[in-house]
Amino acid sequence: MSDHIVSAFTDELDKLAADILRMGGIVETMILDASAAVDGNDLDLAREVVARDPEVDQLEAEIERQIVSLIARRQPMAHDLRAVFAALKVVGELERIGDLSKNIAKRTQRLDKIVGPAMRRGIVRMASPVSRQLNMVLDAYATGNAAAAKAVWEGDDDIDQHYNSLFREMLTYMIEDPRTIGAGAHMLFIAKNLERIGDHCTNIAEFVYFQATGDNLLSTERPKTPQIDG
């Protein structure tokens, strides 16, 4: 899209998108580091992830401030309006992803030696496609690519299946050895957090799609994963 006659308007929209991508990059690393902390029982890394959350919250507040100011001063229309609206929604989703990652990191400290490497490896296996979803949806945001956003949106089904199989795996461990139940419950929350992060990625995909096309991705179109039977 060509630039605005008032170039400062273009600059402000560009800065808004850049800040959102920067925030997205930070929370993407938080997901990966939190799951690596789970995998390696790395409590220092876990503390580092927790310590990064205030930065994310601050970025959110700063981006929201930019958005309010932009609406007040520029009165964006059409694609610009959708971009500003999408930015406001996406920033909230990213903040939630940051919180969930922080929560994963916090729970790492409760897993202790009880949770073996096999169980931990399941979390990493799930975290990898989740962070890839975030990475892809941020790419779609950066390029305004509606088709890429829709692909992310449709990809959430895989995450849900990951979660279901991880859920069943955890149950098996816990039934086998009741001493793992406490830590296993934390593991279940960790898996649930990853599943929720996947949902936030699909929400972001919806806003990217709306920004690019002006249309909504209808939630009814998305294939629904069968309920957990455990």
Please spell the DSSP secondary structure of 79-91, one letter per residue: HHHHHHHHHHHHH
Q: How far is CA 35 from the centre of its chain?
A: 13
Which of residues 109 and 213 has its CB atom nearest to other proteins in the complex? 213
Q: Taking the complex as a whole, how short is the minimal distance between the CB of residue 136 and other proteins, in angstroms?
A: 25
Q: Does 1 bind other proteins (CB under 8 A)?
A: yes
Residue count at the site for other proteins (CB under 8 A)?
18
Q: Does 2 bind other proteins (CB under 8 A)?
A: yes
Which of residues 76 and 155 has its CB atom nearest to other proteins in the complex? 76
For the purposes of burial, counting CB atoms within 10 Å of the CB of 220, is it exposed (0-12), middle (13-18) or buried (19 or more)?
Answer: exposed
Q: What is the DSSP letter of 5?
A: S
Q: Does 214 bind other proteins (CB under 8 A)?
A: yes
Q: Taking the complex as a whole, how short is the minimal distance between the CB of residue 213 and other proteins, in angstroms?
A: 8
Q: Taking the complex as a whole, how short is the minimal distance between the CB of residue 1 and other proteins, in angstroms?
A: 7
Which of residues 7 and 227 has its CB atom nearest to other proteins in the complex? 7
Residues in 48-87 that interact with other proteins by CB under 8 A: 75-82
Which of residues 79 and 110 has its CB atom nearest to other proteins in the complex? 79
Q: Taking the complex as a whole, how short is the minimal distance between the CB of residue 65 and other proteins, in angstroms?
A: 22
Q: How far apart are CA 91 and CA 85, in angstroms?
A: 10
Q: Taking the complex as a whole, how short is the minimal distance between the CB of residue 215 and other proteins, in angstroms?
A: 8
Q: Does 3 bind other proteins (CB under 8 A)?
A: yes
Q: How far apart are CA 139 and CA 208, in angstroms?
A: 10
In this structure, the dihedral spanned by the alpha carbons of residues 27, 31, 32 and 37, taken in order and rounded to 10 degrees, is 120
The answer to whether the beta carbons of residues 202 and 152 sit under 8 Å apart is yes
For the purposes of burial, counting CB atoms within 10 Å of the CB of 5, is it exposed (0-12), middle (13-18) or buried (19 or more)?
Answer: exposed
Binding-site ranges for other proteins (CB under 8 A): 1-6, 9, 75-82, 213-215
